[in-house]
């Protein structure tokens, strides 16, 4: 006897075999026959391929459900093709050949099969035996309509309870007293919350108070009787107002077995299929907040759990590539699986298909392939897919510790509810994805701005870690490559909990650094967990729950790996794909910033070392003369300045000093500075006087050709005399003139200007002589002092002379410090030019 029939025709093209497979699969699953789906699909695929490819005609597929078998027929319109022989050497019987392979498979897989000929057509048919049903799992299919009558052994009591606006009992009928064993006098005025056992978790979803304010509601919950026993009831309530407009709630209650008395008949909206399973389940129960996906999902699983009287519920959403489920909400599952844990969509078990509603009657008899429920104590499970326009977007499951608790009716009621909530979930998820996308862009823009705001190597390392924690991970470690191919070394560690930074660093110090690997992509890294296990630290308080999934990303800049970025999350947590993609974007930006900071640090170190080499390491002590020098390079130290000074011994009793300024900065200026400083010492010690020394230096500078730079220089020789004074011989070649501070506070120029060096071949230079008496000061500066500006104002020679006038009686060091402070205070901005100050003072008391 045929109990169901499904038929379809497929055109003779290459896509027909796939379409036929889908048609047969849907038909058999729709009839609740998953056990024969695989064999039927294989056979139909071969037979339809024979018809549309080899015979070149359309194929008609007809599925017939019989009492104990399924018969499937494939008809084509090319009957002259012969029936293959299964015993002779005919080519159709060759298992490796193309022709006749479908018939060979029919003989191997089907209980019975055959070929029937008619005018202009040929039909190949086969029968598959339906296996006997066993306790375990089955797909949910619509049940045969029937009556749902009360099951109470005696009279059905309908309790009528009226509640005021505050949820207190206003009215209590005799049936309520009979059901709950409370007389009316004992409950009038009491809060309904004292008696009702509401299944909703406190603070999550729709509570009792909010439910009582709904216009209409029905569902199941518990009521505590006078003897303390809790009874399950099914209730229907309506919100009413009296003649004065005061609201109250009227509740009708029956015992759970009598719920058919109150349960509303199903209503079908226009264009919607009817629900034959009973009253609708409303998983939304209120307006949908499209800005908060997590709240929507959590509210959905809690209502699904409560409305179907389950012990636990969960909701999975598919990843972007639809190959994995991600746990997004759960209720009643208190073990180790955390939110965003992932599970494969296909488990290989035909009963665990996520694309159809399923009823798992006893998980102990046939465990599900979902590790989420392992060791949870759940026995019965119902799962339904969430689909939008035929595309799988998630799965909703409810479970209880009682075996055999759910049937097809429960699964289909949940499926109808899931169909209604799926669109809201998908809409909210798309909103969340758009928000995440914009947030990711904002995050990357902010990260780029912060990383571009510094060139300090250590600060860049810290910024990288701070951008990653806690936005991307709970902890972060940065490894940088050593010099000359050395392995990467741990450079920085950060954890969202500061108390765990030191234990984490200790563990990573004991863990071999990850290999450099490819120049892009995310790699999982298990070495820290392995080290902790090997050292017996897995259960230590410092590392408890610390090491979950860990990934490593290469820091690639300028086509080479300069380091590694390790990110980790707590145990039981997995990285979401969008987080990993965001981490890859961050690593690329961070790598470039890190390489820039490395290059800058190296350049700064080189410049500072070169700058130090251009200045004298120590100043000689000159008997009878106080000497002090202040030197400050402008900028951040990445350029070698052009200002220099020197003080050296020419011969016993005679000393040379110089202060100069080379045009420009950088390597060219540094080369001229080094040439000038070392040439001065060499030439002065050859016995040349000051003009001869500068003429020879001028020639050496001009010999540099295109690398030469002009140079302003104040060079002098000083000789302390027995009477306590000091004799000086000076040549000021284009340099700011030295100033002489006399003991009475007068300031005058100690030299006259002469041509600068590095411009003309023949220089007419003359030495100028003066004697510094005890208490007098000679001040020599570079143009960074005299040309200090604020807007249009400039300190100049006159301003410097005014500062020096107030330095009478001060030591050489005090004079230099006062001049330096005056320069800094002249303008609020920091100095933009190098600055050198050389002070010589003859003390008023001299000990020979």
Query: Which tokens belong to 417?
Result: 């509810």
What is the 8-class DSSP label of residue 499? Answer: G
- Are 765 and 694 in contact by the 8 Å Cβ rule? The answer is yes
Q: What is the pLDDT of residue 636?
A: 58
Mention every residue, 6+ apart, whose C-beta is less than 8 A from residue 179: 157, 159, 223, 225, 231, 233, 253, 255
Angle at 36 between CA 32 and CA 42, to 5 degrees: 130
What is the 8-class DSSP label of residue 686? Answer: T
What is the full DSSP assignment across 556-623? EETTEEEEEEEEE--TT----HHHHHHHHHHHHHHHHHHHHHHHHHHHHHHHHHHHHHTS-SSPPPBT
**Strands of 560-568's sheet in order across:** 489-495, 475-480, 560-568, 550-557, 523-524
Distance of CA 321 to the CA centre of its chain: 19
Beta bridge partners of 622: 625
Mention every residue, 6+ apart, whose C-beta is less than 8 A from residue 264: 218, 236, 279
- Are 93 and 30 in contact by the 8 Å Cβ rule? The answer is no
- Cis before residue 230, ω within 30 degrees of 0? no
Distance of CA 148 to the CA centre of its chain: 53
Query: Which tokens belong to 109?
Result: 């897989």
Pick from 68, 61, 57: nearest CA to 43: 61
Query: Which tokens belong to 121?
Result: 């057509």
Q: How far apart are the first and last CA of the chain?
A: 135
Residue 77 CA to residue 59 CA, distance in Å, equals 8
* Number of Cβ atoms within 10 Å of the Cβ of 737: 20
Q: What is the chain's Cα-based Rg?
A: 46
* Number of Cβ atoms within 10 Å of the Cβ of 826: 18
Q: What is the pLDDT of residue 90?
A: 43
Query: Which tokens belong to 188?
Result: 């009038």
Mention every residue, 6+ apart, whose C-beta is less than 8 A from residue 225: 179, 180, 181, 182, 231
Q: What is the pLDDT of residue 483?
A: 63
Q: What is the pLDDT of residue 299?
A: 85
Distance of CA 108 to the CA centre of its chain: 54
Q: Which residue has the tokens 């084509």?
A: 76
- Positions of E strands within 133-272: 137-139, 159-163, 169-172, 196-197, 216-224, 230-241, 247-255
Query: Which tokens belong to 794?
Result: 């400039």
Pick from 430, 428, 496: nearest CA to 465: 496
- Are 387 and 416 in contact by the 8 Å Cβ rule? The answer is no
Torsion over CA: 82, 87, 91, 94 (sign) = positive
Q: What is the pLDDT of residue 641?
A: 65
> What are the residue ranges of helices labelled H in 110-228?
174-180, 184-187, 208-212
- Are 384 and 411 in contact by the 8 Å Cβ rule? The answer is yes
SS3 label, residue 447: helix
Bridging pattern class, strands 560-568 and 475-480: antiparallel
Residue 397 CA to residue 140 CA, distance in Å, equals 13
Q: 37-49 vs 16-30: helix axis angle to the nearest 10? A: 150
Query: Which tokens belong to 418?
Result: 């899931």
Residues in the chain: 848
Residue 196 CA to residue 187 CA, distance in Å, equals 12
Pick from 654, 652, 622: nearest CA to 843: 622
SS3 label, residue 735: coil
Residue 427 CA to residue 434 CA, distance in Å, equals 11
Q: What is the pLDDT of residue 245?
A: 75
Residue 774 CA to residue 723 CA, distance in Å, equals 9
Residues of the chain with pLDDT under 50: 81-99, 141-147, 201-205, 266-278, 347-351, 638, 846-848
Residue 102 CA to residue 123 CA, distance in Å, equals 13
Query: Which tokens belong to 37?
Result: 């789906």
Query: Which tokens belong to 354?
Result: 């996520």
Residue 517 CA to residue 520 CA, distance in Å, equals 8
Residue 370 CA to residue 367 CA, distance in Å, equals 8
Q: What is the pLDDT of residue 599?
A: 87
- For residues 406-444, b (16+ Cβ closer than 10 Å) or e, as one string? bbbbbbbbbbbbbbbbbebbbebbeebeeeeeeebeebb
Q: What is the pLDDT of residue 270?
A: 39
- Give me the numbers of helices (H) and strands (E) for the chain, helices first please: 17, 35
Angle at 693 between CA 690 and CA 694, to 5 degrees: 90
Distance of CA 229 to the CA centre of its chain: 51
Q: What is the pLDDT of residue 146?
A: 43
What is the full DSSP assignment across 282-296? -SS-S---TT-HHHH
Residue 88 CA to residue 77 CA, distance in Å, equals 26
Query: Which tokens belong to 424?
Result: 């809201």
- Are 511 and 552 in contact by the 8 Å Cβ rule? The answer is no
Residue 103 CA to residue 114 CA, distance in Å, equals 9
Residue 325 CA to residue 355 CA, distance in Å, equals 12
* Number of Cβ atoms within 10 Å of the Cβ of 185: 9
- Are 147 and 414 in contact by the 8 Å Cβ rule? The answer is no
SS3 label, residue 351: helix
């Amino acid at each position: 006897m045929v109990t169901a029939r499904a038929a379809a025709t497929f055109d003779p093209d290459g896509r027909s075999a796939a379409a036929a497979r889908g048609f047969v699969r849907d038909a058999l699953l729709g009839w609740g026959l998953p056990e024969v789906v695989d064999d039927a699909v294989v056979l139909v695929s071969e037979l339809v391929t024979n018809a549309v490819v080899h015979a070149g005609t359309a194929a008609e597929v007809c599925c017939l459900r019989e009492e104990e078998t399924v018969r499937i027929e494939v008809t084509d319109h090319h009957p002259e093709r012969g029936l293959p022989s299964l015993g002779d050497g005919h080519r159709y019987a060759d298992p490796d050949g193309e022709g006749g392979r479908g018939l060979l498979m029919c003989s191997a897989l089907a209980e019975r099969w055959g070929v029937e000929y008619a005018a202009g057509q040929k039909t190949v048919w086969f029968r598959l035996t339906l296996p006997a049903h066993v306790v375990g799992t089955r797909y949910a299919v619509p049940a045969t309509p029937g009556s749902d009558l009360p099951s109470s052994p005696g009279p059905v009591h309908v309790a009528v309870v009226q509640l005021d606006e505050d949820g207190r009992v206003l009215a209590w009928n005799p049936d309520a007293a009979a059901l709950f064993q409370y007389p009316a006098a004992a409950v009038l005025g009491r809060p309904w919350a004292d008696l009702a056992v509401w299944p909703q978790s406190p603070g999550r979803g729709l509570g009792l108070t909010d439910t009582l304010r709904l216009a209409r509601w029905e569902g199941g919950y518990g009521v505590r009787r006078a003897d303390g026993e809790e009874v399950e009831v099914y209730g229907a309530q309506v919100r009413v107002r009296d003649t004065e407009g005061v609201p109250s709630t009227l509740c009708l209650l029956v015992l759970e077995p009598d719920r058919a008395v109150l349960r509303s008949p199903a209503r079908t909206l226009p264009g919607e299929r009817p629900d034959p399973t009973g009253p609708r389940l409303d998983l939304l129960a209120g307006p949908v907040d499209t800005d908060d996906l997590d709240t929507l999902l959590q509210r959905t699983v809690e209502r699904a759990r409560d409305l179907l009287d389950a012990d636990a519920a969960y909701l999975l959403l598919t990843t972007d590539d639809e190959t994995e489920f991600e746990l997004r909400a759960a209720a009643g599952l208190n073990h180790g699986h955390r939110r965003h844990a992932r599970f494969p969509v296909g488990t290989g078990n035909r009963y665990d298909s996520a694309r159809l509603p399923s009823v798992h009657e006893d998980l102990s008899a046939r465990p599900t392939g979902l590790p989420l429920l392992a060791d949870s104590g759940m026995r019965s499970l119902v799962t339904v897919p969430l689909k939008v326009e035929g595309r799988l977007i998630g799965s909703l499951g409810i479970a209880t510790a009682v075996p055999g608790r759910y049937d097809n009716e429960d699964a289909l009621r949940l499926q109808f509810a899931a169909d209604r909530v799926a669109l809201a979930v998908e809409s909210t998820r798309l909103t969340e994805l758009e928000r995440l996308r914009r947030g990711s862009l904002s995050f990357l823009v902010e990260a780029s701005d912060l990383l571009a705001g510094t060139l300090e190597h250590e600060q860049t390392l810290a910024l990288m870690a701070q951008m990653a924690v806690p936005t991307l991970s709970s902890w972060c470690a940065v490894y940088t490559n050593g010099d000359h191919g050395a392995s990467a070394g741990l450079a920085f560690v950060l954890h969202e909990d500061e108390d765990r930074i030191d234990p984490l660093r200790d563990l990573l110090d004991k863990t071999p650094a990850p290999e450099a690997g490819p120049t892009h992509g995310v790699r999982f890294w298990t070495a820290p967990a392995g080290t902790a296990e090997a050292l017996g630290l897995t259960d230590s308080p410092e590392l408890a729950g610390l090491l979950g999934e860990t990934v490593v990303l290469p820091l690639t800049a300028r086509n080479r790996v300069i380091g590694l970025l390790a990110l980790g999350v707590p145990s039981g947590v997995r990285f979401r794909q969008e987080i990993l993609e965001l981490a890859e974007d961050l690593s690329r930006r961070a790598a470039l910033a890190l390489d820039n900071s490395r290059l800058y640090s190296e350049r700064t170190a080189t410049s500072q070392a070169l700058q130090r080499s251009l200045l004298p390491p120590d100043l000689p002590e000159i008997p009878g003369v106080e000497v002090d020098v202040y030197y400050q390079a402008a900028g951040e130290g990445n350029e070698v300045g052009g200002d220099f000074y020197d003080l050296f011994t020419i011969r016993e009793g005679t000393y040379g000093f110089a202060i100069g300024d080379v045009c420009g900065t950088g390597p060219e200026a540094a080369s001229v500075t080094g040439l000038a400083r070392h040439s001065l010492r060499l030439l002065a010690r050859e016995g040349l006087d000051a003009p001869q020394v500068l003429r020879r230096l001028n020639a050496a500078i001009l010999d540099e050709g295109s690398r030469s730079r002009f140079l302003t220089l104040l060079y002098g020789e000083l000789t302390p005399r027995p009477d306590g004074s000091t004799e000086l011989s000076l040549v000021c070649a284009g340099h700011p003139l030295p100033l002489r501070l006399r003991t009475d506070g007068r300031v005058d120029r100690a030299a006259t200007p002469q041509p600068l060096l590095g411009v003309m071949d023949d220089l007419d230079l003359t030495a100028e002589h003066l004697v510094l008496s005890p208490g007098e000061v000679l001040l020599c500066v570079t143009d960074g002092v005299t040309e200090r500006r604020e807007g249009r104002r400039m300190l100049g020679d006159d301003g410097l002379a005014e500062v020096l006038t107030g330095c009478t009686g001060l030591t050489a060091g005090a004079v230099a410090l006062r001049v330096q402070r005056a320069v800094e205070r002249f303008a609020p901005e920091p100095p933009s030019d190098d600055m050198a100050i050389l002070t010589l003072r003859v003390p008023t008391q001299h000990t020979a």
